[in-house]
Amino acid sequence: MTSARDLIESAQICGREAEQLVLTLLGRDRAWLFTHDNEPVEAESIPVIQQALKRREQGEPVAYIIGSRSFWNLDLAVTPAVLIPRPDTELLVEWGVERIRRADLDRCLDLGTGSGAIALAIKAECPACAVTAVDRSTDALAVAQANGKSCQLQVTWLEGDWFEGLLGQRWPLILSNPPYVRDEDPNLHRGDLPAEPREALAAGPDGLKDLKHLIATAPDFLEAEGYLLLEHGWDQAAAVRALLLTAGFKNIETRRDLAGHERVTGGCLDHG
Ligand code: GLN
């Protein structure tokens, strides 16, 4: 007989990840494991679980194997077409929600939405705010759209390359978690990153290619006093602040993530 504990201990991966995979595939939670860890697992589940553990041993991210990741208070489907939502990005959501509440905004735009994490978390917090989300990847948008349905949250999903399909529109708030990793950054070969879409991660030799484009183009798509909030790498805040200043933004501010790294920078368009 094979128990849940046997399966967890048989895997050559981190114990918590093995536990998460085994419990998810058994449809159980951690509380169950305390009292049932030595009971035999149904025979038909065993090869399925062993297969999943093997995929993890070979480097596939847990989120892709189980097909979901929680973000904010949402359970989101993820596939290799989208970046796996990170807790750091909740900082961008928090700031966006704060802007929407403070200025009573009725609209906002999320560029490069991927799984739809930012757009959906904002919609969940601010139901009266109309959220539009853009991605150039058809496959990513399909994931985002499915997440909107399963979370029962209404977001307008648009296919396009950054501002491409938005000509003539102006927004009071634009948010983005663009690619910002340097092309040569060794982290692209570590952890979960090799399995994630490179186009969602890498952004030229300095990692600033997309941030530069967003900052230079946003003024044409922001209302007077509109805000642009951007996630970036831990060492890119000064560069992003300088780019915002050059592009005519004021009230430029950087906020730190849970690890204390400068992670999100934003500013307000100065039309004065
Ligand atoms: N924070 C991510 C990482 O370094 C990168 C996300 C991004 O490029 N937007 O793993």
Q: What is the CATH number of the domain that holds 114?
A: 3.40.50.150
Q: Which two tokens stand for residue 145?
A: 């759209």
Domain check: are 152 and 231 in the same one?
yes
Per residue in 84-108, pLDDT tens?
999 999 999 999 999 999 999 999 9
Amino acid symbol at 146: A
Domain check: are 228 and 180 in the same one?
yes
Ligand 1 pocket, mutate which of 83, 111, 209 (most atoms under 8 A from CB):
83
Q: What is the pLDDT of residue 271?
A: 73
For residue 177, the ligand 1 atom closest to its alpha carbon is 9
Helix axes 90-103, 117-125, angle to 10 degrees: 40
Q: What average pLDDT values come out for the chain (272 residues) when binned by 10 residues?
A: 93 93 95 92 94 96 96 97 97 98 98 98 98 98 98 98 95 98 97 96 98 98 97 98 98 96 97 65
* Distance separating alpha carbons of residues 52 and 49, to the nearest angstrom: 5
Domain check: are 215 and 87 in the same one?
yes
User: Could you tell me if 11 and 53 are in contact, meaning their C-beta atoms sit under 8 angstroms apart?
Assistant: yes
* Distance separating alpha carbons of residues 230 and 208, to the nearest angstrom: 12
Ligand 1 pocket, mutate which of 88, 181, 264 (most atoms under 8 A from CB):
181
For residue 88, the ligand 1 atom closest to its alpha carbon is 1
Domain check: are 50 and 160 in the same one?
no
CA of 121 to the centre of ligand 1 (A): 18
Domain check: are 8 and 87 in the same one?
no
Q: Which two tokens stand for residue 205?
A: 């030799």
For residue 207, the ligand 1 atom closest to its alpha carbon is 8
CA of 234 to the centre of ligand 1 (A): 10
For residue 196, the ligand 1 atom closest to its alpha carbon is 10
CA of 63 to the centre of ligand 1 (A): 15
Domain check: are 108 and 240 in the same one?
yes
Domain check: are 16 and 99 in the same one?
no
User: Could you tell me if 72 and 124 are in contact, meaning their C-beta atoms sit under 8 angstroms apart?
Assistant: yes
* Distance separating alpha carbons of residues 84 and 76, to the nearest angstrom: 9
Query: Where do we find the tokens 């704060």?
Result: 98
Helical H segments across the chain, by residue range: 4-10, 15-26, 30-36, 45-57, 62-66, 90-103, 117-125, 138-151, 209-217, 237-246
CA of 221 to the centre of ligand 1 (A): 25
Instruction: Give Cα separations from 93 to 40, 48, 81, 208, 220 (angstroms).
Output: 43, 36, 22, 21, 23
Count structural domains, the chain: 2
Q: What is the pLDDT of residue 38?
A: 92
CA of 120 to the centre of ligand 1 (A): 19
Q: What is the pLDDT of residue 3?
A: 95
Domain check: are 174 and 246 in the same one?
yes
Per residue in 63-89, pLDDT tens?
999 999 999 999 999 999 999 999 999
Q: What is the pLDDT of residue 1?
A: 85
Q: What is the pLDDT of residue 272?
A: 57
User: Across-strand partners of 77?
Assistant: 68
Q: Which residues line ligand 1 (CB under 6 A)?
A: 86, 88, 177, 179-181, 193, 201, 231
CA of 240 to the centre of ligand 1 (A): 15
For residue 200, the ligand 1 atom closest to its alpha carbon is 8
Domain check: are 21 and 116 in the same one?
no
Which sign, positive or negative, has the C-alpha torsion 27, 29, 35, 37? positive
Domain check: are 189 and 252 in the same one?
yes
What DSSP assignment string belongs to 31-98? HHHHHHTTSBPPTTHHHHHHHHHHHHHTT--HHHHHTEEEETTEEEE--TTSPPP-GGGHHHHHHHHH
Residue 20 lies in a domain: yes
Please give the residue range of the domain that contains residue 33: 4-58
Domain check: are 39 and 121 in the same one?
no
